[in-house]
Amino acid sequence: MIGEVVGVFGVHGEIKVRPLTDFPERFERTRTIYLGEQHIPRAVERAHQHKNMVLLKLAGVTDPAAAEALRGTALAIPAAELQPLEADRFYVHDVIGLRAQHVNGRPLGTITDVLSGPGHDLFVVHGARGETDVLVPAVKAFIKSVDVAAGVVLIDPIPGLFDDEYEEIR
């Protein structure tokens, strides 16, 4: 997902999009965008950044009512159009499903989701404590490596985060 429709702009069917990408300029060169879970293709007639939003004019969306009907719709592009990343960066969808492993080699569970927060993301690790999910801050202090090719995220957690035997010293 590269954005979400958050409103209407003007009287000609333009939509306001909250970009969910580190590359909001991509909207200006994208020719087709895919709407919602069904990935319905729509041609992009024009796009430009406006403050912290992107304004999009999509083919077939010609008035405010048609634009309003798209509010809350997720916008996506094909994986083949993703921007190449630097070696130490990854896409969120690449992390989901990876095995979480302690730096000592002990399995911790599986990354089932990534929650976006104001300061940093949180990796949701399922299976580490039975059916309880553990939230791990996605910061270098905890996440030592993400190896998408090997399917592993190495985690160096604080004591007590994954092990029930840890007793707090008072």
Give the CATH number, domain containing residue 98: 2.30.30.240
First to last CA, the chain: 46
The last residue of a domain, from among 41, 58, 81 = 81
Say if residue 77 is in the same domain as residue 118: no
- Count the domains in the chain: 2
Say if residue 22 is in the same domain as residue 48: yes
Q: Is residue 161 part of a domain?
A: no
Q: Do the beta carbons of residue 128 and residue 134 sit within 8 Å?
A: yes
**In this model, does residue 8 exceed pLDDT 50?**
yes
pLDDT digits (tens, 9 = 90+) for 34-76: 999 899 999 999 999 988 899 999 999 999 999 999 999 999 9
Say if residue 117 is in the same domain as residue 50: no
Q: Do the beta carbons of residue 150 and residue 133 sit within 8 Å?
A: no
Say if residue 58 is in the same domain as residue 98: no
pLDDT digits (tens, 9 = 90+) for 71-96: 999 999 887 777 777 777 777 888 99
Q: Which domain holds residue 47?
A: 3-81
pTM, two decimals, is 0.65
The last residue of a domain, from among 61, 81, 101 = 81
pLDDT digits (tens, 9 = 90+) for 93-116: 889 999 999 999 989 999 999 887
Look up residue 93 and give its DSSP letter.
H
Q: Do the beta carbons of residue 26 and residue 100 sit within 8 Å?
A: no
Residue 125 has which token pair?
């690790």
Q: Is residue 55 part of a domain?
A: yes
